[in-house]
Amino acid sequence: MRPIIGISCCVKAFGIFNTPNHAASDSYVRVVLGPVGGVPVLLPAAGESLAPQILPRLDGLILTGSRSNVWPGHYDGPDHAEGTPEDQQRDATTLPLIRAAIAEGVPLLAICRGMQELNVALGGSLDQRIQDLPGRMDHSTPSDQPIPLVRTGKAHAVRLAPEGLLHELAGATEMPVNSLHNQGVQRLAPRLEAMGWAPDGTVEAVRVRQAPGFAWGVQWHPEYDWEKDAFSRRIFEAFGEACAAHAARPQLRPAALREAAE
């Protein structure tokens, strides 16, 4: 049986009445069906009650990227600049879901906004426009580049920690990545260990210390180019192996099932 992989949704208004929908990019569905080797299940931004109900049924969790940003109130940050997109329904769902998944050992791969949520969920904070900070690069989507190039093009190198697992997957100490973000790690959460950095020092990859299961975050988007980029593919394959192992774990059967089997 293929592992069941939860994919976080954003709340987006569209359709003929421009009403709220729960949505995730097709790139996450395709990567789960591909190198992850799982069955994708979209997780609506249904609030904190979702975690205890859904986690026992999941073998892995992907926290997706999004143009929206984590509400600064979750990390005592300043209000966002006027017009900065937020998605508080998503925050209310993913932050408790992340904490519960780590506690339960459900493998977790957090991508871009997902990595920022991972940092905030564990007590870290975010810079909101890193391109405005002295000595920092512009990590956002170059407006003059067509979308396909932005998604699959390489924007900068990431230096990988030599003892980190990402370095092992890459087989190199530096790898080129795409970049589509304005925000970034300001204070790293105590339980997070950085595994990769941009040339300007921006944290680009993290893992959760002493997590019972696979728990990584990356600031770039490997889901955009895994069909051509071996490093991107290997990240998802490693995540998929962890999910398959989680799916194969001996599970406590509900009491009713145990009684019926006796």
Nearer Cβ to ligand LF53FM6H (62/244): 62
Question: DSSP letter at 200?
Answer: T
Nearer Cβ to ligand LF53FM6H (86/241): 86
- Among 12, 113, 167, 207, the residue binding ligand LF53FM6H under the rule CB under 6 A is 113
Q: What is the 3-state secondary structure (H, E, C) of 210-232?
A: CCCCCEEEECCCHHHCCCCCHHH
Q: How far is CA 77 from CA 10, 67, 88, 110, 212, in A?
A: 22, 18, 15, 21, 30
Selecting among 139, 167, 181, 221, the annotated active-site residue is 221
- Among 8, 27, 179, 182, the residue binding ligand LF53FM6H under the rule CB under 6 A is 182
Beta-bridge partner residues of 251: none
Examine the residue annotation and report whether 10 is marked as an active-site residue of this protein: no
Selecting among 139, 181, 223, 243, the annotated active-site residue is 223
The pattern of x and - marking residues 52 through 81 that bind ligand LF53FM6H according to CB under 6 A reads: -------------xxxxx------------
Q: Measured at the alpha carbon of residue 198, what is the angle toward residues 94 and 88, in degrees to the nearest 5?
A: 20
Nearer Cβ to ligand LF53FM6H (79/168): 79
Closest CB 67 distance from ligand LF53FM6H, rounded Å: 5
Examine the residue annotation and report whether 112 is marked as an active-site residue of this protein: yes
CA-CA distance, 136 to 127, in Å (whole number)? 11
CB 214 within 8 A of CB 155: no
The residue whose two tokens read 């493998």 is 107
Binding site for ligand LF53FM6H (CB under 6 A): 65-69, 112-113, 180-183
Q: What are the residue numbers of the active site?
A: 112, 221, 223
